[in-house]
Structure 1
Amino acid sequence: MEKQAQIYKADQRGCSESEIFRRFCTFNFDDYRAISRHAFGALYAVNDETLAAGNKIVRHVEENFDIILLPLVGGIVYKDSLGNQDIVGTEEIRIFSAHKGMSYEITNSYEEELVNYIQIWLRPDKPFFTSQSNQQNFNLSERNILIPLFEGKISDSPVLKTNATADGFIGIFDGRKEGKYKLKNPHNGLFTFVINGAFEFENRLIESRDALSISGISEIAFEALSENAILLILEIPLKR
């Protein structure tokens, strides 16, 4: 596979905003359309969302997806039309199967504080789509390593599973610390999103809320360029 890479700068993301809600989307989503912002294989959406205090948003799903909620600032209340409900806080991740026709809502129950969270949408492997709604915590006190967040459903490890053969990791790094990621499947692609700070990937500078997709590699090295730099790494199947 020929090596290909694309950088998604934070200030070039699509933006949808109201008095109570703001969404920055890395890929084409809802009314945002750009030629260079198509989905990356099974990775359909990476949305950076902020919700004002005491408000909620409701979303109706038009096709099957696995949806991942990752709070960054504050906690959110998740509720869906199937009766699942829980509070998802920082250093917690929730994955749920959003079937076609289902709806869900996200609420900020704080009286004064904004909440900020990431939504990741994954297209499932065909033809099976298993219902799930699960939540798990992770510990960012472990530094300079990649911590597993989720993985494909074939594995028997205790990490949360997805209906796509995708893997997700998060890590917090000290300045000048180096890391490396080796793909489980060299036919997959790698997508990385910087939550905080700055990183360098093969001489590519990726700063806070920037992203990078790259294919045609078997592994990649990176270096944190700032203290407390936080990184998401997703291994994504490209062939649908």
Structure 2
Amino acid sequence: MKTILHKADTRGHANHGWLDSHHSFSFGGYHNPERMNFGVLRVLNDDVVAQGMGFGKHRHDNMEIISIPLFGDLEHRDSVGNSTVIKEGDVQVMSAGTGIYHSEYNKNQDKEVRFLQIWLFPNQKNVQPRYDQISIENLKKRNQFYQVLSPNPDDDGVWVYQDAWFHLGDFDKGVETSYHLKRKGNGVYVFVLEGEATVNGEALQRRDGLGIWDTEQLSITTSGNTKILLMEVPMG
């Protein structure tokens, strides 16, 4: 088993006034050659957007882009005709493929919006751009992990052009659980959204990240009310 630990306070940080962002991997003005990616996981940004502010129209291509709102409402518009609002309890995916323009704004003038922006390298290039979002409220299960993303359109959650599986978990204190990897050669990046947990013997706190590979399963024990995101991704 191999691991890499990224403590919360070692992440890159940029505060633009309207945007306060922490970067688990190199992004924008933050460049760390030892933190370029974890397998095909290229970007994990922990973003806070001020009231009524946001990202103007910009282009992406050949990237799987996932947004997971943690608080507030994020308004999305794109060049393939989508105009939607995503909120806590939703997951959004955009396959940029041959190229797509989009914008994202905090829909509200009275509260900030917090969300995770996650990029995966795809396993197919130059696909037709596509967009999807779902509510995961009916998938939630207390004290166990529930799937919110996979490679299969018929599985729970959204799907991506990659052999990746994402699971969320909301746990009480003292819960012991495990996660079995879906695909040989994959690794898991564990990101603690709230609370504390011990994962394969490593103590993690809020916003800590732990990459694990060359193993078949994870053992997890929570130390308080804890919310965890597991991102299983190919390492090659």
Distance 1:181 1:111 in 2: 40
Could you say what secondary structure the match of 2:155 adopts? coil
Could you say what secondary structure the match of 1:11 adopts? helix
**Corresponding residue for residue 226 of structure 1:** 224
Indicate which of 97, 103, 107 corresponds to 1:109. 107
Distance 1:223 1:158 in 2: 25
Size of the aligned set, in residue pairs, is 235
**Corresponding residue for residue 30 of structure 2:** 32
Q: Deviations over 1:86-113 (max 9, x none)?
A: 1101111011112354321111121221
Distance 1:136 1:7 in 2: 31
Instruction: Map 1:1-240 onto structure 2 (within 5 A).
Output: 3-58=1-56, 60-99=58-97, 101-127=99-125, 129-139=127-137, 142-153=141-152, 156-227=154-225, 229-239=226-236
Q: CA deviation at 1:141?
A: 5.6
- C-alpha change, 1:147 and 1:130, in structure 2 (3 Å) is farther
- C-alpha change, 1:59 and 1:195, in structure 2 (3 Å) is farther
Structure 1: gaps of 5 or more residues:
none
Contact 1:61 1:99 in 2 (8 A): no
TM-score between both structures, scaled by the size of structure 1: 0.92
Distance 2:222 2:126 in 1: 39
TM-score between both structures, scaled by the size of structure 2: 0.94
- C-alpha change, 1:118 and 1:59, in structure 2 (3 Å) is farther
Could you say what secondary structure the match of 2:30 adopts? coil
Q: Deviations over 1:156-175 (max 9, x none)?
A: 32531101110001010000
Q: Deviations over 1:122-163 (max 9, x none)?
A: 11003563532111111376210111101013x632531101
Distance 2:81 2:184 in 1: 39
Distance 1:78 1:199 in 2: 33
- Residue 80 of structure 2 aligns with an amino acid whose one-letter code is L
Structure 2: gaps of 5 or more residues:
none
